[in-house]
Amino acid sequence: MNLLMCPVCRQSLNLIANSWHCEKGHHYDVAKQGYVNLHVVQHKHSKTPGDTAESVLARREFLQTDAYQPLQLAVVELLQQLKPKAVLDIGCGEGYYTNAMQAHTQDCIGVDIAKAAVQRAAKLNSRVTWVVGTGATLPVQDHSIDVCSSLFSPIPQDEIIRVLRDDGHLIVVTPAPRHLYALREALFEQVNLHEPQKFVQQLDAQFELKQQQVVETQMVLDQHALKNLIAMTPYAYKANPERRMALEQEQQFLATAAFQIYVFQKRKKPSI
């Protein structure tokens, strides 16, 4: 199935040879790495939006250690329950979770605004449709997706409603209250608990909460993994530089990752 949408005229895109075409004549070539760039100039707010190449590399190296595998397995288990035909992973990054999702659906699309991330993701799994695109205009056709996922990523609510089928689901993963608490204590003078429940309140008008769970995993991080974990998060530029430098001297660090997972279902429109 061709699920992609032209970001200029919003017509459906069809893959012809090595290029995506719409009926209005717009076309987008598949890059040699295997992704398509549907983030058109008129939608850009900066020259290189999204995560930096350094952050993407740090995330790739950290996730390759499978430190976050319990989260990956939990998301796969949800897909096994929901049995979707089409999945859209919003903010797919370098593809660690999207790659695992692909085996549990017929059509899997990973979209991210960071070109550097999608370039790396495209090397993981050629059966995923990898797209550089923006959540402000998801490059996917109306009512074509069974499950949207947003893992530590923005939640473009109106766009998700547009692309989801009437009984579609949204999987949201966000930090649980004490996610990386010890790490944050080392980096910041004051540490507040995360507030995942705010997403439930924000989404309540258009989505019904169906499931929730917290997945925790303890990690013993060596110095290299610790540096990568800091570099792949906003802590890299928010933390006190002296505290960060001192922490990165540690040869070993014990941290607990705590992931809050929500499964929402699109609310039915009231009949008139």
Binding-site residues sit at: 6, 9, 22, 26, 68, 94-95, 179
In the numeric block, the tokens 């939640």 are attached to: 155
Residue stretches of the annotated binding site for Zn(2+): 6, 9, 22, 26
Indicate the DSSP class of residue 130.
Answer: E
- Distance, in Å, from the CA atom of 54 to the CA atom of 145, rounded to the nearest integer, reads 32
Residue type, 173: V
Cα four-point dihedral sign 170, 103, 110, 94? positive
Burial of 116 (0-12, 13-18, 19+ CB in 10 A): buried
Whole-number Cα distances in Å, 120 to 9, 94, 254: 28, 6, 29
Residue stretches of the annotated binding site for S-adenosyl-L-methionine: 68, 94-95, 179
Of 206, 220, 183, which Cα lies nearest the Cα of 264?
206
- Distance, in Å, from the CA atom of 149 to the CA atom of 163, rounded to the nearest integer, reads 12
